[in-house]
A and B are shown apart, each in its own frame.
Chain A
Amino acid sequence: FFVDNGNDIPEEDDIRRRPPRHSMLHDQEDHEDLEAIERRIQERYARRVESFDEEATDVEQQALLPSVRDPKLWMVKCVIGRERETAVCLMQKYIDKGAELQIRSAIALDHLKNYIYVEADKEAHVKEAIKGLRNIYAASKITLVPIREMTDVLSVESKAIDLARDTWVRMKIGTYKGDLAKVVDVDNVRQRVTVKLIPRIDLQALANKLEGREVVKKKAFVPPPRFLNVDEARELHIRVEHRRDAYGERFDAIGGMMFKDGFLYKTVSIKSINAQNIKPTLNELEKFRKPGESGDSDVASLSTLFANRKKGHFMKGDAVIVVKGDLKNLKGWVEKVDEDNVHIRPEIKGLPKTLAVNERELCKYFEPGNHVKIRVFADDVVESSEVTTGITKIGDYELRDLVLLDNMTFGVIIRVESEAFQVLKGVADRPEVALVKLREIKCKIEKKTSVQDRFKNTVSVKDVVRIVEGPCKGKQGPVEHIHRGVLFIYDRHHLEHAGFICAKASSCVVVGGSRISGDRNGDAYSRFPGLRTPPRIPQSPRRFSRGGPPNDSGGRHRGGRGHDGLAGATVKVRQGPYKGYRGRVIEVKGTTVRVELESQMKVVTVDRDHISDNVAVTPHRETRYSIGSETPMHPSRTPLHPYMTPMRDPGATPIHDGMRTPMRDRAWNPYTPMSPTREWEDGNPGSWGTSPQYQPGSPPSRQYEAPTPGAGWASTPGGNYSEAGTPRDPYVNAPSPYLPSTPGGQPMTPNSAAYLPGTPGGQPMTPGTGGLDMMSPVLGGDNEGPWFMPDILVNVHRPGEESVGVIREVLPDGSCKVALGSSGNGETITALPNEMEAVVPRKSDKIKIMGGALRGSTGKLIGVDGTDGIVKVDDTLDVKILDLVILAKLAQS
């Protein structure tokens, strides 16, 4: 009976999707219409409104809808990232001003940045309330929220519960950023999930690390995804243990990582994965499927693929499969589509000619390898009718292309069939043809190499050669491809294999002159004819000698679509913090791209949409050598180190020290300029005295971390200059508590140093700014990395030796003198940072705090809550909650 006059309870979908833009409706009409109705309802419910607080049914909730008599909601712009702080500031102001403040509530939504809502009867009340708040701009627009949108404001979607096993997600951070992963376990209590990924492990580097050998960490080197082969690892002397997890499942453990069936199983925080609208590409799904999985699981994985979507668009003729209900797994074709139902013609005989199925129960179905046209989502995929006719091309590959099948095998496509290719392999002595599916092809080989013939003449593509040895002796023809000393010759008189012959270059002789134009990148490439450098990489063999195939992550094939041709291309950044910079694409990862900036020795991650590759492609040689400032610096990084120390002090310390005090006041005394007294400080006596409480985690502190430019980039692991082995030493005895507080902070300085010599002056973020820039504090300020210190117990990992010891002394380069034994009574050894691991304390242990503002303090661990430890600090007897990572067990002496 509730009149439908704009007070509808919005549907769940709308709540989720509607952007928080409130139109400037003319509420007058609404209000006038509602007046009358409202009066009636008030009468009916007036008495019961009070008691309704106790009832919880939906019907009663309807009665709580806002009326014209209720205060209105006003949307107010505030400093981005400070929404919660602003709402709480208003609370504080109310406590002090009392009824003078005429607002009723203030709301900060997690998902809405830059704005808060204030509940008040009049706009003037809001204006008055926000006066003096430094987080709200004086000129801030105050926008009224239409009555019908008010309940939306307060609706939140609880996402904690939405993760389920077997859901597809994408990693947001780390080496696997952008990679597809499958959820295998959810821990809601600790807010962590275990996911299964295709490992990106550099076995060689791992072997080196585990054996304690010096790891020459290649800058920005992310290994390509590849299933882990336990035997391969063992061959490199990597220790593989068998372990069981909480469920009793067996895993192979290497260096703390757990593997099974080639996959890596990783437990990460829920915040570091993306679970919404994940659309795995077909390639990714294929990769995830291990050989041996049955056909059923294909369907299952495809249907989970679609489970995340909202709607499907079915067209007549589409092949579909029923994924829900009694008809599940039934395949058919779409005959007709109407309002809600799709009529399909089932595959199986014996069923009625057409069945009506609900749209939501259907999914499009297509076999891998089908020729499809990609429009927007895979849902919009339509099977192409070109499949049935004779074709010369599937995907990116066509007849006569030279392709790479795996690390060892390559060949020329001699025939294209409906779902696969016939490839003449590069085996010279006897012709070998393989039937290869689209996905088994790694990439095209387009490198133009040249080779020497039997008499040491140079042979290049298009030269005519004659075979003088072997089974095809006497044949001759132009060279179509050259690879690894093998020639693919096309002889139209040759009846087999579409005329292609594979022969060793040394078995051939050049006939006539070479016919190529000056298109010889001879100098750069002719050195590499026999080398195994993957085709894409010749530009930078020095920098990125990737062991594996040059495939982009995600299995995209090179040379096909525009973006994949990006890798190695010179691009210009058009948007984002790196706008204006030129660089070269090193890797394409999901939706982001890693670019090496031309003007700085940095590799940064940018969104794929932010770059454009219409920069005139300068031959790679130029980019490598022509940037004068780069070359001398690049090989040796030592010039940077001296900068580290001097830069740190002027850059970082003054900011923090200088700003600390006033910041603290102002954050909680929003209108300090207006008031003579500082009553608010005294108002909450205990809280503000303990300054460390704010700085590590609170937004104000982030404000001062943000301007130092390194912060943003430092968070990309493996990104920058933090190698060289000794990033920590300047900070071990740092006076200012801020500096050690972010491991992301370590490279802070090297990056600022990087600016000074080479900066083009384009960056707006100079350390000197008062830190009041509105940089979104991207850094997770919670990273207060652990630092070794004396008296703590550590586990020492060395090849062949695992022991416990007590740190007696920390040396300038980060390594420590450790006295072995649990009481430190044994011999003293010197251990490197990567050999040591602090012993995790247990409840009731005496501990030392290794990071954060309280670094150096000792205390007792009185409890554990998930990944946090509850500590009673010795000196102050305060109880703090600190991440277990920064707590170390104190040695008994």
Chain B
Amino acid sequence: MASAPAQIPTSFGHELRACLRCRLVKTYDQFRESGCENCPFFKMEEDHERVVDCTTPNFNGIISVMDPTRSWAARWLRIGRFVPGVYTLAVSEALPEDLQTICEDEHIQYVPPKR
């Protein structure tokens, strides 16, 4: 139990969104207030428009990861390096081009969803 866990979603409606890069799931409000714990470089907490660009409400299935370092499922889903939190198994959209560039600049790996 190394890192501090991400916020867990407080509701289940339309507000739930998943980060397109790390697939963390939180509500719109939560992203807006504290950004994405795994992707601070997106700076969602500063630029609220970013939240809509970096996250999507279209996702499939959720997984609560308590201990990413020791979870096989997290490893298989390639989220074993992220903080504990609630993630989604798959998102249906890809990160927009300009944000992908940001990832490259920061030497962050981004894997688009499989089609």
Q: Can you name the residue of chain A whose Cβ is closest to the Cβ of B81?
A: A53
Query: When the two chains form their complex, are residues B9 and A881 in contact, meaning their CB atoms are under 8 A apart?
Result: no
Query: When chains A and B are docked, how far (Å) is the Cα of A111 from the Cα of B60?
Result: 9
- From residue B67, how far is it (CB to closest CB) to chain A in Å? 5
- From residue B89, how far is it (CB to closest CB) to chain A in Å? 5
Query: When chains A and B are docked, how far (Å) is the Cα of A881 from the Cα of B11?
Result: 12
Query: When the two chains form their complex, are residues A107 and B73 in contact, meaning their CB atoms are under 8 A apart?
Result: yes
Query: When the two chains form their complex, are residues A684 and B10 in contact, meaning their CB atoms are under 8 A apart?
Result: yes
Task: Identify which of B14, B67, B74, B78 contacts A868 (C-beta below 8 A).
Answer: B14
> CB-defined interface of B63-90 with A at 8 Å, one 1/0 digit per residue?
1111100111111111011001110011
Which chain A residues border B72 with CB–CB below 8 Å?
Answer: 66, 70-71, 104, 119, 150
Query: When chains A and B are docked, how far (Å) is the Cα of A73 from the Cα of B71?
Result: 10
Which chain A residues border B74 with CB–CB below 8 Å?
Answer: 104-105
Contacts A53-B78, A56-B111, A158-B113 known; A107 to B63 CB distance under 8 Å?
A: yes
The verdict on B58 contacting chain A, using a C-beta distance below 8 Å, is yes
Tally A residues with Cβ within 8 Å of B. 62
The verdict on B40 contacting chain A, using a C-beta distance below 8 Å, is no
Which chain B residues border A54 with CB–CB below 8 Å?
Answer: 109
Query: When the two chains form their complex, are residues A101 and B66 in contact, meaning their CB atoms are under 8 A apart?
Result: yes
Query: When the two chains form their complex, are residues A105 and B65 in contact, meaning their CB atoms are under 8 A apart?
Result: yes
Q: Can you name the residue of chain A whose Cβ is closest to the Cβ of B88?
A: A156
- Which residues of A96-139 have CB atoms within 8 Å of chain B's CB atoms? 98-99, 101, 103-111, 119
Query: When chains A and B are docked, how far (Å) is the Cα of A99 from the Cα of B66?
Result: 9
Which chain B residues border A158 with CB–CB below 8 Å?
Answer: 60, 90, 92, 113-115
Query: When the two chains form their complex, are residues A108 and B80 in contact, meaning their CB atoms are under 8 A apart?
Result: no
Which chain B residues border A101 with CB–CB below 8 Å?
Answer: 66
Tally B residues with Cβ within 8 Å of A. 49
Query: When the two chains form their complex, are residues A698 and B13 in contact, meaning their CB atoms are under 8 A apart?
Result: yes
Query: When chains A and B are docked, how far (Å) is the Cα of A326 from the Cα of B63?
Result: 46
Query: When the two chains form their complex, are residues B73 and A110 in contact, meaning their CB atoms are under 8 A apart?
Result: no
Query: When the two chains form their complex, are residues B11 and A98 in contact, meaning their CB atoms are under 8 A apart?
Result: no
Query: When the two chains form their complex, are residues B1 and A99 in contact, meaning their CB atoms are under 8 A apart?
Result: yes
The verdict on B15 contacting chain A, using a C-beta distance below 8 Å, is yes
Query: When the two chains form their complex, are residues B73 and A154 in contact, meaning their CB atoms are under 8 A apart?
Result: yes
Query: When chains A and B are docked, how far (Å) is the Cα of A107 from the Cα of B48?
Result: 30
> CB-defined interface of A170-194 with B at 8 Å, one 1/0 digit per residue?
0000000000000000001001000
Query: When the two chains form their complex, are residues A87 and B64 in contact, meaning their CB atoms are under 8 A apart?
Result: yes
Q: Which of A317-325, A686-694, A706-714, A764-772 contacts B (4 or more CB under 8 A)?
A: A686-694
The verdict on B52 contacting chain A, using a C-beta distance below 8 Å, is yes
Q: Can you name the residue of chain B whose Cβ is closest to the Cβ of A101?
A: B66
Contacts A64-B75, A158-B60 known; A104 to B8 CB distance under 8 Å?
A: no
Q: What are 19 residue pairs bridging A and B, where the CB atoms are less than 8 Å apart in the complex?
A: A53-B80, A64-B76, A71-B72, A84-B62, A85-B12, A92-B8, A95-B8, A104-B70, A104-B71, A105-B66, A107-B73, A110-B61, A154-B77, A158-B90, A188-B93, A684-B7, A697-B11, A698-B11, A868-B14
Q: List A residues at the B interface (Cβ < 8 Å).
A: 49, 53-54, 56, 61, 64-66, 70-71, 73, 84-85, 87-88, 90-92, 94-95, 98-99, 101, 103-111, 119, 150-151, 154, 156, 158, 160-161, 188, 191, 684, 686-688, 693-694, 696-699, 782, 863, 865, 868, 870, 878-881, 883
Top 6 A-B pairs, shortest CB-CB distance: A697-B13, A687-B10, A70-B72, A91-B64, A104-B71, A160-B92
For the complex with contacts A151-B76, A878-B29, 7 further pairs of A-B residues with Cβ separation under 8 Å are A61-B76, A106-B63, A154-B76, A158-B90, A188-B92, A684-B7, A880-B29
